[in-house]
């Protein structure tokens, strides 16, 4: 059981690092005055899920879910 705890801890650390990097790679959500004028209605605004920014958002969501699940599993105390 101790080996499994060590493996999960290493995975937890790797997810934490990856999550930090992905969050820092994302653009800011403040679009400035361009959003008021309707500049957000471009091709890239409509297809944001298929762009790099959209993939970063999806990756962030997946890593956050994995982070929370691993945090709960590691703190249950079943490995002690």
Per-residue pLDDT tens for 18-75? 999 999 998 776 655 555 555 555 555 556 657 888 899 999 999 999 999 999 999 9
φ, ψ for residue 29, nearest 5 deg: -85, -10
User: What is the pTM for the complete model shown?
Assistant: 0.73
DSSP 27: P
Q: How far apart are CA 56 and CA 28, in angstroms?
A: 12
5-32 pLDDT per residue, tens: 999 999 999 999 999 999 999 877 665 5
Q: How far apart are CA 10 and CA 13, in angstroms?
A: 5
Residues 6+ apart with CB under 8 A from 67: 12, 15, 16, 19
Beta strands of 1-80 (E only): which ranges?
Answer: none
């Amino acid at each position: 059981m101790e080996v499994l705890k060590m493996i999960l801890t290493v995975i937890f650390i790797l997810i934490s690092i990856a999550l930090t990097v992905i969050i820092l790679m994302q653009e800011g959500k403040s679009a400035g005055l361009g959003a008021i004028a309707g500049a957000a209605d471009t091709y890239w605004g409509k297809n944001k899920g298929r762009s790099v920014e959209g993939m970063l958002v999806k990756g962030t969501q997946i890593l956050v879910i994995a982070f929370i699940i691993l945090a709960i599993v590691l703190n249950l105390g079943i490995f002690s």
